[in-house]
Amino acid sequence: MVKITDVARHAGVSPSTVSYALSGKRPISEETRQRIEASIRELGYRPHAGARALASSRSNVLALVVPLRAGIHVPVVMQFAVSVVTTARRHDHDVLLLTQEEGEDGLRRVADTALVDALIVMDVQLHDRRLPLLRALDRPSVLIGFPSEPKGLTCIDLDFQAAGEACVEHLAGLGHRVIALVGSPPEVYVRETGFAQRVVRGFTAAADRHGLSSSVHPCEAAPGAARQVAEQLLRERPALTGVVVHNEPIVEPLIEAFEQLGLRVPGDLSVTAICPDELADGTRVPVTSIAIPSAEVGATAVELLMKKLGGATVPEATLLPPRLTVRASTAPRP
């Protein structure tokens, strides 16, 4: 293994000079730097990560805690993770993957052993058990999702309430007067994941504001359940012309159910969804939707973390504004 002393000798300088040339923490003459860089290339020098971490008390590694639970849309998690890794690399950091399963002990472990400099925690619940620990830890963290009490933490997510509102605005703008929200499975609300309730809140508030008749319907993430909800809606709310779906797996089945029940989309019924773009684009009738901007959330989370590592203070809450993409599933009220 070639080490910093080898480079120093080869370049005719002291090890500390090499170190400073690499880190830029002290001025080094252009000429010396050139010589050092040439030596580094020639010898193929790579600083030892452990030694660096020990001496500088910075590992240049971020922890990413991913959820395992059922009901989480896996591609979104993956996209998020990839975006975190990519952005972290841009800041010369690597990413350690942890699973929810490891729980608080896992967080404590990687933080206390100085394996990581900072943490990103996905799928934060309203009353997440990890919150006290995250507040107490001596390393910065960023949470994806909003707990009920974000004081002292840094949180980021899509603004789900605004997303719910935006869907309603869009439908209202098209003249719809009777609308429904087909939501996530009941357990998601019980679990207090926050974002599901926020959609409901935004949906209801906007509907009220526009004087629309609205209703909310939790729904299991299975095609059969979608069919049932569709039937129920036709039965109980025959004047319905607008639907907002916040439940990835049933977007397509729900539309099909409506069509099999004789409603054309968007001819008789307009449908909008809050879901990843790939999903909205991949259905037979492309769906007007608000994207889950997982890549953007991931990148922003890393940027926030970098600022915190740099000693800057960042806002406690970062809400990404929803962006609605109009596709083929919505039309003016018939």
Partner DNA sequence: GCGTGATGTCGAAGCGCTTCGACGGGCGAA
Partner DNA sequence: TTCGCCCGTCGAAGCGCTTCGACATCACGC
Residues making contact with DNA (CB under 7 A)? 1, 3-5, 12-20, 22-23, 25-29, 31-33, 45-48, 51-52, 54-57
Single residue of 46, 69, 209, 264 touching its own copies by CB under 8 A: 46
Q: Which does 85 bind (CB under 5 to 8 A by kind): its own copies, DNA, none?
A: its own copies
| Beta carbon nearer to its own copies, 118 or 174 | 118
CB of 17 to DNA, least distance (A): 3
| Beta carbon nearer to DNA, 47 or 71 | 47
Number of residues that bind its own copies (CB under 8 A): 41
Single residue of 77, 163, 200, 229 touching its own copies by CB under 8 A: 77
Nearest Cα residue to 165 out of 327, 299, 322: 322
Residue 65 token pair: 């805690």
**Cβ(233)–Cβ(240) below 8 Å:** yes
Q: Any contact of residue 136 with its own copies (CB under 8 A)?
A: no
Single residue of 50, 211, 238, 262 touching its own copies by CB under 8 A: 50
| Beta carbon nearer to its own copies, 64 or 172 | 64
How far apart CA 317 and CA 15 sit, in angstroms, is 44
* Residues recorded for the chain: 334
Q: Any contact of residue 54 with its own copies (CB under 8 A)?
A: yes
Q: Using DSSP, state whether 1 is helix, strand or coil.
A: coil
**Cβ(28)–Cβ(20) below 8 Å:** yes
Give the pairing type, strands 288-290 and 324-325: antiparallel
Nearest Cα residue to 320 out of 291, 283, 281: 291
Single residue of 7, 13, 36, 95 touching its own copies by CB under 8 A: 95
| Residue with token string 């990687």 | 110
Single residue of 3, 15, 47, 217 touching its own copies by CB under 8 A: 47
Rounded to 5°, the CA angle 324-64-303 comes to 60
How far apart CA 116 and CA 141 sit, in angstroms, is 11
| Beta carbon nearer to its own copies, 93 or 246 | 93
Q: Which does 75 bind (CB under 5 to 8 A by kind): its own copies, DNA, none?
A: its own copies
125: exposed, middle or buried (Cβ count in 10 Å: 0-12, 13-18, 19+): middle
Q: Any contact of residue 113 with its own copies (CB under 8 A)?
A: yes
DSSP symbol at 113: T
Chain positions contacting its own copies, by CB under 8 A: 44, 46-54, 57, 59, 61, 64, 66, 68, 74-75, 77-78, 81-82, 85-86, 89, 94-99, 101-102, 109-110, 112-115, 223, 284
